[in-house]
Chain A
Amino acid sequence: MSSQWDDYPLSEFFDEMLSTPGNARKPSQKLYNYLSKLSPGSVASRKAAAELAVREMGISFTVYTDEGNIDRAWPFDIIPRVIAKKQWDKTEAGLKQRLQALNMFIDDLYNKQNIIKDGIVPEYIIKQSSNYRKECEGMSPAYGAWAHVCGTDLVRDKDGEFYALEDNLRVPSGVSYMLENRSIMKRVLPEVFKKVDIAPIGDYPAELFETLSSLSPRQISKPVIVVLTPGIYNSAYFEHAFLAQKMGVELVQGNDLVVESDDCVYMKTIAGLERVDVIYRRIDDMFLDPDAFIPDSMLGVKGLMRAWRSGNVALANAPGAGVADDKVVYAFVPQIIKYYLDQDPIISNVETFLCYDDKQREYVLNNLDKLVVKPANESGGYGMLIGPHSTKKERDTFTDLIKANPRNYIAQPTLALSTAPTYIGKDNAPEPRHLDLRPFVLQGKKSFVTTGGLTRVALKKGSLVVNSSQGGGSKDTWIVDVSGGTKE
Chain B
Amino acid sequence: MLSRVAERLYWTARYLERVSSTATLITSYENLLYDLPKNVELSWYNLIIINDQEQEFNELYSSRSERNVIKYLIGDRDNGSSIMHSLHFIRENVRTARDVIPEKAWELICELSIYAQDNLDQGIKRRSRLEFLENIVKGCSQINGLIQSTMPRDAGWEFMLIGCNLERADMTSRYLEAGLAAILQVKDENTINSQQIIWGSVLRSLDATQYYLRATKTPVKGQAVLPYLLRDSCFPKSITYCVGSIIQSCQKLPEPELALEKLKKVESKLAKKIDYEDLGDALLEKLNKLQIMLTSIHFIISESWFIADH
Contacts and interface: CB of A to CB of B under 8 A. Distances in A.
Interface of A: 55-58, 231-232, 237, 241-242, 244-245, 248-253, 255-256, 267-273
A131 B107 CA distance: 39
Given A58-B106, A250-B5, A267-B2, A237 B95 contact: yes
Contact of A270 (B3, B95, B97): B3
Nearest to B158: A270
Nearest to B111: A56
29 contacts: A55-B110, A56-B111, A56-B114, A58-B91, A58-B107, A58-B109, A237-B95, A241-B96, A241-B98, A245-B98, A245-B99, A245-B103, A248-B99, A249-B99, A250-B99, A251-B5, A251-B98, A252-B4, A255-B4, A255-B308, A256-B2, A256-B3, A269-B2, A269-B3, A270-B6, A270-B254, A271-B255, A272-B254, A273-B310
A255 B308 CA distance: 9
Contact of A268 (B2, B106, B109): B2
Contacts of B109: 58
Contacts of A56: 107, 110-111, 114
Q: How large is the interface on B (under 10, 10 to 19, 20 to 34, 35 or more residues)?
A: 20 to 34
Contacts of A245: 98-99, 103
B279 interface: no
B4 A256 contact: yes
Given A56-B107, A56-B114, A273-B310, A232 B96 contact: yes
B157 to A, nearest CB: 13
A373 B92 CA distance: 40
B95 A272 contact: no
Q: Interface residues of B: mostly helix, strand, loop or mixed?
A: helix
Interface string B168-210: 0000000000000000000000000000000000000000000
A120 to B, nearest CB: 44
Nearest to A53: B107
Given A56-B110, A57-B110, A270-B155, A242 B98 contact: yes
A251 B3 contact: no
Interface in B1-21: 1-6
Contacts of A255: 4, 308
B305 interface: yes
Given A245-B98, A256-B2, A270 B110 contact: no
Contact of B1 (A57, A237, A241, A270): A270
A271 B254 contact: yes
Contacts of B36: none
A232 B88 CA distance: 13
* Max count, chain B CB within 10 A of own CB: residue among A58, A231, A267: A58
B98 A269 contact: no
Nearest to B309: A268
B297 interface: no
B33 interface: no
Contacts of A241: 95-96, 98-99
B253 interface: yes
A399 to B, nearest CB: 46
Nearest to B97: A251
Contacts of A57: 107, 110
Contacts of A253: 4
A278 to B, nearest CB: 16
Given A55-B114, A270-B305, A271-B255, A232 B92 contact: yes
Contacts of A256: 2-4, 308
Contacts of A248: 99
A205 to B, nearest CB: 12
Interchain residue pairs A-B with the least CB separation, the first 7: A268-B308, A271-B254, A241-B98, A58-B110, A244-B99, A245-B99, A270-B305
Nearest to A243: B99
Contacts of B4: 252-253, 255-256, 268
Contacts of A58: 91, 95, 106-107, 109-110
Contacts of B96: 231-232, 241, 251
A272 B111 CA distance: 36
Contacts of A244: 98-99
A242 B98 CA distance: 7
B301 to A, nearest CB: 11
A304 B94 CA distance: 28
Nearest to B6: A270
Given A245-B98, A251-B99, 20 more contacts: A55-B114, A56-B110, A57-B107, A58-B106, A58-B107, A231-B96, A232-B95, A241-B98, A248-B99, A250-B2, A251-B98, A255-B308, A256-B2, A256-B308, A268-B3, A269-B3, A270-B2, A270-B155, A271-B254, A272-B254
A231 B97 CA distance: 11
Interface in B295-310: 305, 308, 310
A326 to B, nearest CB: 33
Contacts of A268: 2-4, 308, 310
B95 to A, nearest CB: 6
A255 B309 CA distance: 11
A57 B105 CA distance: 10
Contact of B253 (A55, A251, A270): A270
Interface string B76-117: 000000000000000110011111000100110111001000
B171 to A, nearest CB: 26
Contacts of A242: 98
* Max count, chain A CB within 10 A of own CB: residue among B103, B305, B308: B308
Contacts of B308: 255-256, 268
Nearest to B96: A232
A390 to B, nearest CB: 39
A173 B142 CA distance: 33
A255 B109 CA distance: 27
Contacts of B155: 270
Contacts of A55: 110, 114
A57 B109 CA distance: 9
A283 to B, nearest CB: 16
Contacts of A249: 99
A308 to B, nearest CB: 21
Contacts of B110: 55-58
A54 to B, nearest CB: 10
Interface string B142-170: 00000000000001000000000000000
Contacts of A269: 1-3
A55 B107 CA distance: 9
A269 B6 CA distance: 9
Contacts of B2: 250, 252, 256, 267-270
B228 to A, nearest CB: 35
B211 to A, nearest CB: 34
Contacts of A251: 5, 96-99
Nearest to A226: B2
* Max count, chain A CB within 10 A of own CB: residue among B92, B255, B305, B310: B310
Nearest to A266: B310
A39 B98 CA distance: 39
A184 to B, nearest CB: 12
Nearest to A252: B2
A175 to B, nearest CB: 16
A269 B95 CA distance: 19
